[in-house]
Copies of this chain bind each other. A is one copy, B any other.
Amino acid sequence: MSNIEQRLNELGIALPPAPAPAANYVPYVRSGNLIFVAGQVCFGADGKLAERHKGKLGGGVSDEMGREAARICALNVIAQVKAALDGDLNKVVRCVRLGGFINTTPDYAAIPQIMNGASDLMVEIFGEAGKHARSTVGVAELPMDCAVEVEAIFEVA
Contacts and interface: CB of A to CB of B under 8 A. Distances in A.
Interface of A: 21-29, 31-34, 36-39, 56, 58, 94, 96-99, 101-102, 104-109, 111-113, 115-116, 119-120, 123, 131-145, 149, 151, 153, 155
A97 B56 CA distance: 26
Nearest to A98: B25
Contacts of A138: 139-142
A56 B31 CA distance: 34
A22 B109 CA distance: 13
A112 B143 contact: yes
A31 B137 contact: no
A31 B142 CA distance: 29
B96 A133 contact: no
Given A31-B155, A139-B140, A141-B106, A134 B94 contact: no
A153 B36 contact: yes
Given A24-B123, A96-B31, A119-B23, A38 B134 contact: yes
